[in-house]
Amino acid sequence: MIARIVNAIAAVRMPAQPEEYDIHAAVARALTEAGLEYDHEYRLGPRRRIDFRVGRIGIEVKKGRPASAQLREQLARYLESDALDAVIVVTQRVTRLPERIDGKPVYIISLNRLWGVALP
């Protein structure tokens, strides 16, 4: 399941300066096109709402380059939930995070790595 989600999101191409809403829309479109059912803005508990949930996999979208320590704390709160077995973080710029938080896998997709070479 994780490979299907990662492959779907890896196909996303965004302009250099998207708004977070645009990234959400592109991720939703990619998941739909891959035939993956998802919940958007899934509530894990009080003050814990992850951007997407596909089965037992959470997807968190961040514009720009989020502060690693703050994002790690946010993900730890999400991964405390029994509703998630892993999380995929979709960022606009490269962000360093541990491979696991609370024993659960963390995957990172950096959209700027997906830009490739722009040709006229």
Domain boundaries, the chain: 2-113
**C-alpha span between 98 and 96 (Å, rounded):** 7
pLDDT above 60 (res 114): no
**Are the C-beta atoms of 112 and 93 separated by less than 8 Å?**
yes
Instruction: Report the topology of domain 2-113.
Output: Endonuclease; Chain A (3.40.960)
Is the pTM of the predicted complex or chain greater than 0.85?
yes
Phi, psi values for residue 100, rounded to 5°:
-140, 145
Q: Using one digit for the tens of pLDDT, what is the confidence trace for 39-77? A: 999 999 998 999 999 999 999 999 888 899 999 999 999
